[in-house]
Structure 1
Amino acid sequence: MTKFFRLFTFLLLISVICFYPLTSVFADVDNDTTENDIVISISPKENLFDITNMKPGDWAPRTITVQNSGSKDFVYQMQLQNSGEKKLFNELLLEVKEGDKELYQGKLAGFKSFPGRKLSSGTEENLDITIRFPEHLGNDFQGLNSAFTFSFTAEGKDNTTVQVMTTGQVASVGPTSTGFSQPSTSTNIFFLILFGTILVASGIVLMIIRHYRRMKIAQ
């Protein structure tokens, strides 16, 4: 009887050792499935904006793709946080569109979020994001930098949330001897041609008027 219990105990121990790894594998699979229920991904993942030498009147359009790579539908939102100097950040303008639908238009610093957008499992959508440098900004905005972070948060029906982020930075053009912007050579040539054309046209008009007056006097 004692030998039987010893044999039974030995067989039980062997069974536990053999089946434990298999049980762990199934447990890991279940955990992975649970973790992958809500999966949000974006493209590009880093540096959505990396702009240098921006000046008044310039704008920079970008497109970011938001994907639902998980097994469940979710609702996502986009937030924006300043991570650098405030002076330029507070003046830059932001536009966010999905196709022809405008989601936001206003100051970069004024953006908090847009209404949650539903994205079904296995689908994606493109957001068109444009940053504009206001035309009225003066020379005191030369040589400034702004850095910020876009956060995309997905939330499932069970309140599970997942977040991904991308960054952006904008630098204004540095100081020049003539102020914020310095006309290029081509611009100067254009104005010279325009001025010359106006002078020639004015001369022709004066000649016609003088000729017309002489004809009247002759009559």
Structure 2
Amino acid sequence: MAFNFLTTSADSSVSSGTIAITVSPETGLFDVEDMVPGDSDAADVTVTNIGDVDCLYYISADWHAGDETSARMAALLANKLEVSVEVDTESLYTGTLAGLIDQPEAGRELSLATESEDVTFTITLPADTGSLYQDINVDFDIIFVATEAEEQED
């Protein structure tokens, strides 16, 4: 004799959260001309969690040759320019423009409770930069990517 058991679960539901951030201002973070060795420039952006769940964000630089500059020369400059990224006094990244890829490594949590924070970018042409770097133009976009924050296990 076969025995069958059937149960029904009524009124079940599943919903997904929304991961979304905004960055302000969206354009024109840096417009530096005639930078000489030792010069620095800083700019702030505000990152806001507009989703409905906590998230992590990562920062990258997408750089390319500017006007009248070859890709090879732009790569030299991108590997020479120093970039620091900070929130308050906490360093998220210190390194070259070319190395600014998916930083910070563990992501930066932006909870619903925090909602937004100011991120400061400082770009510096090191004082020891030689004449090889004259008249090189590099254009870059700063890219923010948001992902789901990992749940902490108890």
The 2-side partners of 1:61 and 1:93 are apart by: 12
Equivalence for 2:55: 74
Measured in 2, the distance between the counterparts of 1:105 and 1:77 equals 14
Contact 1:89 1:147 in 2 (8 A): no
Partner of 2:33, secondary structure, is: strand
2:92 corresponds to: 103
How many residue pairs match? The answer is 125
- For residue 135 of structure 2, what is the aligned residue in structure 1? 143
* Mapped partners of 1:157, 1:131: distance in 2: 29
Q: How does 1:185-196 map to 2 (within 5 A)?
A: none
Task: Using structure 2 for the length normalisation, give the TM-score.
Answer: 0.73
1:130 partnered with 2:122:
yes
**What per-residue deviation string (whole Å, max 9, x for no partner) do you get for residues 25-55 of structure 1?**
xxxxxxxx97x82221001101211111111
Correspondence for 1:90 among 67, 79, 82:
79
> Using the alignment, how far apart are the partners of 1:153 and 1:69 within structure 2?
13
Cα distance in 2 between the residues matched to 1:138 and 1:117: 35
User: Could you tell me which amino acid in structure 1 is paired with residue 25 of structure 2?
Assistant: P
What is the rounded CA distance, in whole Å, between the counterparts of 1:93 and 1:117 in structure 2?
A: 21
Alignment of 1:50 with 2:31, yes or no, is yes
Equivalent-residue separation in structure 1 for 2:129 and 2:149 (angstroms): 45
Taking a change above 3 Å as real, the CA distance of residues 133 and 157 of structure 1, as seen in their structure-2 partners, is: closer
Post-superposition CA distance 1:136-159 (Å, at most 9, x none)? 11222221101122111111269x
> Structure 1 CA distance, aligned partners of 2:78 and 2:120?
19
User: Cα RMSD over matched residues?
Assistant: 2.1
- 1:65 has 2:56 as partner: no
Amino-acid identity (%): 33
Conserved in 1, the CA contact under 8 Å of 2:59 and 2:100?
Answer: no
Gapped runs of 5+ residues in structure 1?
A: 1-32, 159-219
Offset of 1:82 from its aligned partner? 2.1
Over alpha carbons, which structure has the higher Rg? 1
SS of 1:91's equivalent in the other structure is coil
Query: In 2 relative to 1, CA 57–118 (structure 1 residues): closer, same or farther, beyond 3 Å?
Result: same
Aligned to 1:120: 111
How far 1:70 sits from its partner (Å)? 1.9
Correspondent of 2:146 among 147, 154, 157? 154
Q: 2:144 aligns to what SS in structure 1?
A: strand
- The TM-score with structure 1 as length reference comes to 0.52
Higher relative contact order (CA 8 A, sep 6+): 2
Match of 2:77, SS state, is helix
Runs of at least 4 residues of structure 1 off by over 4 A?
Answer: none
SS in 1 for 2:60: strand
Higher strand share: 2
